[in-house]
Structure 1
Amino acid sequence: MSPAYFGLVMATGIVSLAGFMLGYTSLAFALFYLNIGQYSVLMVLYGVRAVRHPRRFFGDMIEHLIGPGYFTVVAATGILASQFLLLGGDTSISLALWGLEILLWLGLTYTIFTAFTIKQDKPSLDRGINGGWLLAVVATQALSVTSALLAARLGQPYRLELNLLALSTWLWGGMLYIWMMSLIFYRYVFFRFSPGDLAPPYWINMGAMAISTLAGARLILNAPDAPFLTSLLPFLKGFTVFYWATGTWWIPMLLLLGVWRHLYKRFPLEYDPLYWGMVFPLGMYAAATFQMDEAMAFGFLAWLPRGFFFIAAAAWVITYFGMLRRLLRGLLPARDVKHG
């Protein structure tokens, strides 16, 4: 079982939230209820895997290429908390998930990166890093978004503290992106690149910037209730646009690399759990652009989030169908043996 399978919850959740923002409430609520079930099932499966295969479960955490996939559980928890808050209107469940999100973020951040630092046998840069590392940024910014949303709904004395936490994690996520993206871009242009190296998590290059944009927009909207945010408004607005512009730049680049991978190099296109790492950025870009357009009062970007929402929804349907097909295909041999 892939450590990054909570990308399913991330993708479903952000398509639901984007749909809710854009007025597609029936679809948003349907995906919300589906996401509750998916999150619950995956939590049980991960728990069973940890108990039955502890060496493999915890060993995956310290593997350079797959360990950062565990950060999907942090981001998924934060996105589900946001769904409960915005769609369900349930502050108590959102607070409980937010508390779990913090514990998971602390545990995974310091476990994974401490292990990467002190382990004796380490891969070379071209064999040890990919876009999946940026899931650590996504997890950090998901915590910022959840904290900012809760701050907007809770009264004092917690509002200021939550906004400070949201601001701090937003800034740390941005710094972490700069560190990691420098290494990933260096790997891009100075090492041999094969189609197999271009795994779907490279779309997190854009997704990490999109969720950073969303978190920044939430901080701008929260500024009237937090004086220290008001004093930082020019900085918040400047960096929010900076994140959005960076994420936007990645979209044509990733499309060109996808064409090179699948059309020119004829790399087979088949379902992989990692493809949820491509659906999520598309939905997040729609939600982030909508929120930034509202926070900055632009008014002329309204068409962009709606277009990306439809693209994200189509990608979600295709990937979900591929997942169901893979699951059914896995069950058929067992049935054949049973009736043979």
Structure 2
Amino acid sequence: MIWQRVPPESGAAVMGLGVMSVAGHLAGFPVLSAVLLAVAAGLWGVLGVAFLARLAFDNERWMSEAGRPGALTCVAGTGVLGLALVLHGWSTGWIFLVLTTLLWFGLMPLVLRGLATPTVGVSFLVCVGTQSLAVLAGQLAADTRSPFLLAVCATSAAVGLALYVLVLVRFDFRQLTRGAGDHWVAGGALAISTVAIAKLDSAVQELAAPGAFATAVRAIGIALWAITMCWYAVLAAAELLAPRLRYDFRRWATVFPLGMTCTASFGTAAASGMTWMADTARILLWPALAVLCLTAWGTIHNLARPKPGP
């Protein structure tokens, strides 16, 4: 059965395609964004069927895999895809918010219970999954002026940042030169945290929250953006110093941080009024697209390769 061969980390492809659709939309490339969104949505549907099939027909294996950090790619992928659909005018945001929330509550306790030390790049998905919920809730809070969703966004963002620190203090920094792609999530988790704060900032403005709170949120967003850019520089330098050119599926976990750093720059520019950040985002879009194309080509080539006989 094909669903038996789908690893739980496959949601990383949806995450990468989804965030690149968002980045393309914000950069003013509607056709590119729509194409990436269509591919991400189709892949999400296929993986969703595989997820449910494994839950129904191989529950023991599902439970063992659900405790791996990579299982949280389905949470993050659902949240990011929901955001992309909302930005494209689809009225499905609430559905995806409910799905993301249910997946988060179902998987997060299992993953945290088995989180190994030292942590590696994929471990930061505990932050990414939480912040994907915050980002979608923040977008909907701004669109609907909902105080409840504002509280959901603020709470999720705070929990996500706490989880980031929890993983960071146990992180094996040797992964920067040894990781096969998922080490980039160390920076990507902070990038999506920055986007979550930017969405919170937008919701705060729409709901006319107290000025002191709005000022604090904006300051946190700018500080997180600055740290995210430092992570980007460190991770890029590590790739140049220790090139890892062989294809690995975990490179989808590199696509996501590159696209999310671009998105974070657009979001922080809109929230802070610092338009030069948007110019930075447009520059960052191109290397993200290049890595996306190379990773997609590698995945297709690997899937098309004849499998060795028994």
TM-score, with normalisation over the residues of structure 1?
0.84
Find the aligned partners of 1:195 and 1:83 in 2 and give their Cα distance: 30
CA offset at residue 224 of structure 1? 2.6
In the alignment, structure 1 residue 249 sits paired with structure 2 residue 249: no
Q: CA deviation at 1:144?
A: 0.7
Q: 1:312 aligns with which of 272, 288, 292?
A: 288
For residue 226 of structure 1, report the CA deviation from its aligned partner.
2.5
User: Deviations 1:11-39 (Å, cap 9, x if unpaired)?
Assistant: 00111111111110011111111111110
Using a 3 Å threshold, how does the CA distance of structure 1 residues 328 and 247 change in structure 2: closer, same or farther? same
Q: TM-score, length-normalised on structure 2?
A: 0.92
**CA distance in structure 2 between the partners assigned to 1:259 and 1:152 by the alignment:** 40
Q: Give the corresponding residue for 1:86.
A: 87
Q: How much does 1:314 deviate?
A: 1.1
1:28 aligned partner: 33
Q: Which residue of 1 aligns with 2:103?
A: 104
- SS in structure 2 of the partner of residue 270 of structure 1: coil
Matches within 5 A, 1:1-340: 1-62=6-67, 67-87=68-88, 89-91=89-91, 93-116=92-115, 125-126=117-118, 129-154=119-144, 159-184=146-171, 187-188=172-173, 193=174, 197-228=178-209, 230-262=211-243, 269-330=245-306
Secondary structure of the 2:170 match is: helix
Identity, % of aligned pairs? 27
Deviations 1:300-329 (A, max 9, x none): 223210111111111111100100001100
Kindly indicate whether the alpha-carbon contact (under 8 Å) linking 1:71 and 1:108 is maintained by their aligned counterparts in 2.
yes
Cα deviation for residue 277 of structure 1 reads 0.5
Task: Please tell me whether the aligned partners of residues 141 and 173 of structure 1 are also in contact (alpha carbons under 8 angstroms).
Answer: yes
Number of matched pairs: 305
Any gaps of 5 or more consecutive residues in structure 1?
A: 117-122
How large is the Cα RMSD of the aligned pairs? 2.1
Residue 260 of structure 1: how far off its partner (Å): 3.5
Match in the other structure for 1:120: none
Larger radius of gyration: 1
Question: Relative to structure 1, is the Cα distance of residues 84 and 229 closer, same or farther in structure 2, using a 3 angstrom cutoff?
Answer: farther
Q: Which runs of 5+ in 2 are unaligned?
A: 1-5
Partner Cα separation in structure 1 for residue 175 and residue 235 of structure 2? 15
In structure 2, relative to structure 1, the CA distance for the partners of 1:220 and 1:257 (3 Å cut) is same
| Contact in 2 for aligned 1:7/1:76 (Cα 8 Å) | yes
In 2, Cα distance between the equivalents of 1:33 and 1:260? 36
Contact 1:220–1:229 (8 Å) recurs in 2:
no
After TM superposition, give the deviation of residue 219 of structure 1 in Å.
Answer: 1.4
2:3 corresponding residue in structure 1:
none
C-alpha contact 1:219 1:229 (8 A) present in aligned 2? no
Amino acid aligned to 1:160:
P
Aligned-residue offset at 1:230? 4.0
AA at the equivalent of 2:149: L
